[in-house]
Amino acid sequence: MKKKIRLVNKLLIEKYGIPLRSKVPPDPVDLLIATILSQNTNDKNSYKAFQNLKNNYKDWNEIEKLTRSQIEKKIKIAGLGKQKSNSIKQFLSSLKKEKHKISLEYLRKEDDRKILEELTSYIGIGVKTASCVLLFSLRRNVCPVDTHVHRTTNRIGIVKTNTPDKSFDIINKNLPEGVAHSFHTNLIKLGREICRPANPNCSICPLLNICEYEKKNLNGGIKYKENDFLLLDSIK
């Protein structure tokens, strides 16, 4: 599996390039709340909701003092207001109560598994949100699995799972060192632009020759070329 992940990563970089990263990683609390707001909405609306919080209050301590309904009004544009405001309120209040300050800096000394367990213990914080903190804020070699990554990795044949969380476990147990950011980011691009949920445009996919998606071959089964296996063997 590691060879196939390396190959997929290589081909996606050839298609999309190496994704840019901010020189300064985002604050873990900022990133976690931004990820909550991004669920089931577009980037523009989730960013606006995040700015509605950050621009109207001094810090997260001040936001923690708001009622859930007050938070909901500020993030309304991101949708799922009750659910997201409840997750944000519960997280901020629990963190302040347990750690006596709203900060996740203490996690930097912990290993990946411990951080996942810690973050997912909060109400409303799932594996995807926690793993985004690991990848983007803490710069760990962890690949978050959203619907795009789950769909594309199943179609490609890297995993055969029914849920994103199961895909996450298998992918990250077999993830080569140093590929998480490019692999995750470029798979999302692939899922949005080419490997769409309906009517994927397989004819222009950079992974066409190694993908196991059943619709690729109308007669059933996958027809590989000899060069595809040679290419897999060349990936160390």
Which position has the higher pLDDT, 214 or 134?
134
Instruction: Give the number of other Cβ atoms within 10 Å of residue 102's Cβ.
Output: 17
* 189 and 160 fall within a common domain: yes
Query: Is residue 43 a contact partner of residue 49, using CB atoms and an 8 Å limit?
Result: no
Q: Are 114 and 154 contained in the same domain? A: no
Domain boundary among 81, 110, 137: 137
Contact (Cβ atoms closer than 8 angstroms) between residue 53 and residue 75: yes
Q: Are residues 89 and 159 in the same domain?
A: no
45 within 8 A of 78, measured Cβ to Cβ? yes
| Predicted pLDDT at 216 | 56
Q: Are residues 15 and 86 part of one domain?
A: no
**Structural domains counted in the chain:** 2
Are 102 and 79 contained in the same domain?
yes
Give the model confidence (pLDDT) of 3-20 as tens digits.
Answer: 999 999 999 999 999 999
Query: Which structural domain range is residue 221 located in?
Result: 2-19+144-234
Residues 120 and 33 in one domain: yes
At residue 223, does pLDDT exceed 90?
Answer: no
User: Residues 60-74: what's their mean pLDDT?
Assistant: 96
For residues 8 and 34, membership in a common domain is answered with no
- Report the mean per-residue pLDDT for the chain: 91
CATH code at 36? Answer: 1.10.340.30
Residue 215: the pLDDT is 54
In this predicted structure, what is the pLDDT of residue 206?
Answer: 95
- Same domain for 222 and 183: yes
pLDDT (mean) for 213-229 = 48
Q: Do 12 and 32 sit in the same domain of this protein?
A: no
pLDDT band of residue 232 (cuts 50, 70, 90) is very low
User: Per residue in 166-210, pLDDT tens?
Assistant: 999 999 999 999 999 999 999 999 999 999 999 999 999 999 999
Per-residue model confidence (pLDDT) at position 214: 60
Q: Does the pLDDT value for residue 68 go beyond 80? A: yes
> Do residues 91 and 181 share a domain?
no
Domain at 163, CATH number? 1.10.1670.10
Q: Of 79, 103, 137, which one is at a domain's C-terminal end?
A: 137
**Do 218 and 129 share a domain, yes or no?**
no
- Which of 84, 117, 137 lies at the terminal end of a domain, its last residue? 137
Q: Are residues 120 and 206 in the same domain?
A: no
Question: What is the DSSP track for 10-70?
Answer: HHHHHHH-PPP--SSPPPHHHHHHHHHHHTTS-HHHHHHHHHHHHTTSSSHHHHHTS-HHH
Angle at 173 between CA 146 and CA 125, to 5 degrees: 40
Q: Which two tokens stand for residue 6?
A: 């390396």
pLDDT in tens, 114-150: 999 999 999 989 999 999 999 999 999 999 999 999 9
Confidence band of 229 (pLDDT split at 50, 70, 90): very low
| Residue pointed to by tokens 């509605």 | 52
pLDDT at residue 148 in the model: 96
